[in-house]
Structure 1
Amino acid sequence: MGITQFRYIDLPIGDRAAFELVCARHGFAPVHFEISASAPADEPEHERVVTVRRGGWTQSYQDGRGQWIRQFEADLTCRFFK
């Protein structure tokens, strides 16, 4: 049982589009963040953990079928990533 690593460009196109929209709503661009994801090789794709980094700030989200984007937007709203 291994861990599969993903980069931003490996995420589903829908997730990338939603992420870009959330960034734009809050005055950011996707290049302001470093995105990575990992998932156990034998688990469904939607069980991955998505990690977002900006400067010294890092937050990890359970994917849960795209729920990570809502959680990321909540963090942007409360200025977690400053």
Structure 2
Amino acid sequence: MAIRTYTDLPLDDRAAFELACARHGFAPIHFDISGQADPDDPAHSELLVVRRGAWAQAYRVDSRGQWLRQFEVDLNGRFFRLAPHA
């Protein structure tokens, strides 16, 4: 199944994504999520691209939910925080 928005995520991943967002003061709607084939992988596994404003990060999708742990590490590191307006 192609992932075009966060609602296309598998139910378990969607719930974990919602919880990770909530733990860091975000809502899922704050992010744009899309899936695409990994151009560097001959088997063309899927990459999940998460965007917020000008910031984007790609995560390799696997059956163990590793992308969710990496997404939360990025949230902890404040990767997706927008710079305050001057």
Query: What is the number of equivalent residue pairs in this alignment?
Result: 75
Percent identity (aligned): 59
TM-score, with structure 2 as normaliser: 0.78
Q: 1:6 aligns with which of 3, 10, 34?
A: 3
The runs of 5 or more residues in structure 2 that have no matched partner are 82-86
1:38 to partner: Cα distance: 2.2
User: Where is the helix percentage greater, Structure 1 or Structure 2?
Assistant: 1
- Deviation string, structure 1 residues 13-47 (Cα, Å, up to 9, x no partner): 1100000000000000000000111247xx6xxx4
State how far apart, in whole Å, the 2-side matches of 1:32 and 1:26 are. Answer: 12
The runs of 5 or more residues in structure 1 that have no matched partner are none
Q: Are 2:2 and 2:8, in contact at CA under 8 Å, matched by a contact in 1?
A: no
**Higher RCO (CA-CA < 8 Å; seq separation 6+):** 1
* CA root-mean-square deviation: 2.0
Is 1:56 aligned to residue 54 of structure 2? Answer: yes
User: Where is the strand percentage greater, Structure 1 or Structure 2?
Assistant: 1
TM-score, with structure 1 as normaliser: 0.81
- Higher Rg of the two aligned structures: 2
